């Protein structure tokens, strides 16, 4: 049965495929026509085929359980792609480049002169109270003065069509492997579509990542030894660690494979003896990276790694301490950073934010809790936040107490009603809310993924897209409508 788009409606929302008049937006025209002809039942068949393929390919993510340890779950993919016109994407990409350039300048400034503070744009208290500021990074100059080599920024689109940056993940952002695998699966189930529409490829990422990492090597003359450092198979993103290592042809190492020798260099234990490591793409948080420098009880890290890094004997990506900018309070200053460091006008806006640490703004937040989202500044994965409109009186009262105790730890934002994309539910397409996580690579040069990972809240009306909380994902198409 043909899809009847007149019964698909997303009143008051911005739908990424269906425009206000009920017709498809320009980037989604071919897709919309195709889906209409295919009909609900056939889409269901393709969805099942995709789920089987995912199971067979072993595309998984790990969920922790309090009792049963951890289990592997199949990666949730909704096969209806999310489309973005290339022209719009070009603007977003420019905005991301600009943003990450400013963030890298900021991190480097913080660990050196701290000009931005001296010039009064940022209060010193923000750094002093940041959990991710690492005093032992002071004075270190990593290659190309670049700190956040891999950044995953979360973008959302509001009801009026504006694309905002919601947060910048600078510690160990994950999801890029699913972006690539989603495309593989969707190509398998919708091969016809790739003949008719100009959909830009996404699979260049691992090669770009490798080139960026190799360029950081302290021994550029040789073929550098690049490794991926994982906490191990019980980490929720282990699949991705293994995936990227394999795609790049690098060793996937654990902390116990590495040692820092007397010459200050890092070595891995191989079947042919010790071998020097030049670049470590680490997927372990700062806290666990080096028990000598950070948490002494960490068994995941490598004793002495910070010394080796600070001495320029090994490159770490991301650099330790880069997380200082991965703080939602620092986030509120990114547009100022762009003006300050680059002397440019920000291309992509932030979501308007109130800093609870400032008394006047706290007052406003406390008075308007039921209409705001309040977030811990160092949280991720959607944990520990208050969704005002869905909260009870009691939850708000509890949260207000927390806010008053530690206002620095929170920011508040208006509820942005995320845009929607048609999503297969039962036997039909219904609108579901999405966000988008592109990945930006920075080194001697910058690269932005073509699109990114679209996450979708599968529950009707839900705005929570995190895969750990029942979210799904979609393939993201940057469609060239002119070429």
Q: State which residue, 227 or 306, has the beta carbon closest to other proteins.
A: 227
Q: Which stretch binds other proteins (CB under 8 A): 13-21, 150-158, 262-270, 385-393?
A: 262-270
Determine which residue in the list 154, 167, 168, 254 makes contact with other proteins, applying CB under 8 A.
Answer: 254
Q: What is the DSSP string of 228-255?
A: EE---TTSTTHHHHHHHHHHHT-EEE-G
Determine which residue in the list 73, 91, 256, 460 makes contact with other proteins, applying CB under 8 A.
Answer: 256
65 binds other proteins (CB under 8 A): no
49 binds other proteins (CB under 8 A): no
Determine which residue in the list 19, 20, 23, 58 makes contact with other proteins, applying CB under 8 A.
Answer: 58
Determine which residue in the list 75, 106, 178, 239 makes contact with other proteins, applying CB under 8 A.
Answer: 239
DSSP-based three-state secondary structure for 474: strand
Contact 215, 443 (CB under 8 A): yes
Helix (H) or strand (E) holding 275: strand 273-277
242 binds other proteins (CB under 8 A): yes
Determine which residue in the list 9, 269, 398, 445 makes contact with other proteins, applying CB under 8 A.
Answer: 269
Contact 408, 129 (CB under 8 A): yes
Contact 76, 472 (CB under 8 A): yes
Residue 270 C-beta: closest distance to other proteins, Å: 6
170 binds other proteins (CB under 8 A): no
Residue 79 C-beta: closest distance to other proteins, Å: 20
Determine which residue in the list 6, 7, 271, 392 makes contact with other proteins, applying CB under 8 A.
Answer: 271
Which whole-number Å values give the CA distances from 311 to 137, 223, 253, 303, 317, in the listed order? 11, 20, 22, 14, 15
DSSP-assigned beta bridge partners for residue 471: 457
Q: Which stretch binds other proteins (CB under 8 A): 107-115, 263-271, 405-413, 473-481?
A: 263-271
Q: Where would I find the H helices in 68-204?
A: 86-110, 115-118, 124-128, 176-189, 191-196
270 binds other proteins (CB under 8 A): yes
Q: State which residue, 54 or 463, has the beta carbon closest to other proteins.
A: 54
Q: Which stretch binds other proteins (CB under 8 A): 122-130, 251-259, 321-329, 427-435?
A: 251-259
Q: Which stretch binds other proteins (CB under 8 A): 1-9, 265-273, 328-336, 364-372?
A: 265-273
56 binds other proteins (CB under 8 A): yes
For residues 295-334, which are near other proteins according to CB under 8 A? 299
Residue 62 C-beta: closest distance to other proteins, Å: 10
Q: State which residue, 249 or 359, has the beta carbon closest to other proteins.
A: 249
Contact 204, 187 (CB under 8 A): no
51 binds other proteins (CB under 8 A): no
DSSP-assigned beta bridge partners for residue 277: 266
Residue 244 CA to residue 258 CA, distance in Å, equals 19
- Going by C-alpha positions, the residue among 185, 223, 217 that lies closest to residue 57 is 185
Residue 269 C-beta: closest distance to other proteins, Å: 5
For other proteins (CB under 8 A), the number of binding residues is 26
For residues 198-237, which are near other proteins according to CB under 8 A? 228, 233
Residue 3 CA to residue 6 CA, distance in Å, equals 9
Tokens 């991705």 -> residue: 240
Q: Where would I find the H helices in 354-470?
A: 359-367, 393-405
Determine which residue in the list 245, 265, 324, 436 makes contact with other proteins, applying CB under 8 A.
Answer: 245
Residue 418 CA to residue 425 CA, distance in Å, equals 19
Q: State which residue, 58 or 201, has the beta carbon closest to other proteins.
A: 58
Residues in the chain: 483
Q: Which stretch binds other proteins (CB under 8 A): 8-16, 204-212, 270-278, 320-328?
A: 270-278
180 binds other proteins (CB under 8 A): no
221: CB partners within 8 A, 6+ apart: none
Residue 387 CA to residue 469 CA, distance in Å, equals 15
Q: How many CB atoms lie within 10 A of CB 149?
A: 28
Determine which residue in the list 75, 210, 243, 331 makes contact with other proteins, applying CB under 8 A.
Answer: 243
Residue 247 C-beta: closest distance to other proteins, Å: 9
- Going by C-alpha positions, the residue among 164, 157, 47 that lies closest to residue 95 is 164
Contact 463, 418 (CB under 8 A): yes
416: CB partners within 8 A, 6+ apart: 156, 158, 164, 166, 351
Structure tokens at 195: 């003949």
Rg over CA atoms, the chain: 23
Residue 374 C-beta: closest distance to other proteins, Å: 39
Determine which residue in the list 146, 186, 199, 252 makes contact with other proteins, applying CB under 8 A.
Answer: 252
Determine which residue in the list 273, 359, 426, 483 makes contact with other proteins, applying CB under 8 A.
Answer: 273
268 binds other proteins (CB under 8 A): yes
Chain contacts with other proteins (rule: CB under 8 A)? 55-58, 228, 233, 238-239, 242-243, 245-246, 250-254, 256-257, 268-273, 299
């Amino acid at each position: 049965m043909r899809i009847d788009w007149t019964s698909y409606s997303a009143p008051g929302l911005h739908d990424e495929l269906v425009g206000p008049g009920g017709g498809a937006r320009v980037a989604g025209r071919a897709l919309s026509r195709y889906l209409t002809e295919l009909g609900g039942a056939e889409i269901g068949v393709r969805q099942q085929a995709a789920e089987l393929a995912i199971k067979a390919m072993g595309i998984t993510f790990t969920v922790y359980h309090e009792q049963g340890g951890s289990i592997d779950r199949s990666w949730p993919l909704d096969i209806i792609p999310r489309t973005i016109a290339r022209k719009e994407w070009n603007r977003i990409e420019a905005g991301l480049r600009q943003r990450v350039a400013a963030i890298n300048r900021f991190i480097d400034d913080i660990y050196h002169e701290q000009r931005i503070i001296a010039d009064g744009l940022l209060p010193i208290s923000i750094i002093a109270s940041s959990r991710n500021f690492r005093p032992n990074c002071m004075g270190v100059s990593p290659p190309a003065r670049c700190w956040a080599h891999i950044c995953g920024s979360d973008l959302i689109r509001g009801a009026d069509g504006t694309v905002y940056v919601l947060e910048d993940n600078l510690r160990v952002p994950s999801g890029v492997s699913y972006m690539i695998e989603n495309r593989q699966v969707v190509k398998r189930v919708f091969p016809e579509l790739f003949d008719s529409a100009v959909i830009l490829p996404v699979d260049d990422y691992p090669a770009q990542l490798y080139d960026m990492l190799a360029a950081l090597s302290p021994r550029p003359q040789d073929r550098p030894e690049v490794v991926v450092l994982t906490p191990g198979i019980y980490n929720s993103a282990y699949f991705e660690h293994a995936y990227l290592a394999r795609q790049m042809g690098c060793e996937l190492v654990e902390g116990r494979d590495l040692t820092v020798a007397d010459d200050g260099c890092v070595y891995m234990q191989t079947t042919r003896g010790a071998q020097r490591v030049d670049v470590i793409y680490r997927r372990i948080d700062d806290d666990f990276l080096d028990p000598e420098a950070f948490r002494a009880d960490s068994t995941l890290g490598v004793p002495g790694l910070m010394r080796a890094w600070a001495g320029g004997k090994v490159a770490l990506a991301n650099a330790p301490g880069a997380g200082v900018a991965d703080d939602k309070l620092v986030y509120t200053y990114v547009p100022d950073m762009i003006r300050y460091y680059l002397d440019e006008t920000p291309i992509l806006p932030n979501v308007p934010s109130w800093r609870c640490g400032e008394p006047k703004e706290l007052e406003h937040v406390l008075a308007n809790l039921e209409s705001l989202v309040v977030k811990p500044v160092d949280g991720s994965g959607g944990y520990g936040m208050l969704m005002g409109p869905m909260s009870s009186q009691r939850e708000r009262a509890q949260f207000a107490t927390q806010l008053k105790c530690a206002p620095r730890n929170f920011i508040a934002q208006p509820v942005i009603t995320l845009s929607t994309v048609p999503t297969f539910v039962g036997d039909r397409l219904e609108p579901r809310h999405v966000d988008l996580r592109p990945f930006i690579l920075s080194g001697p040069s910058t690269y932005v993924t073509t699109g990114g990972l679209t996450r979708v809240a599968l529950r009707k009306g839900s705005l929570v897209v995190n895969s750990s909380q029942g979210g799904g994902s979609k393939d993201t198409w940057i469609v060239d409508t002119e070429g």
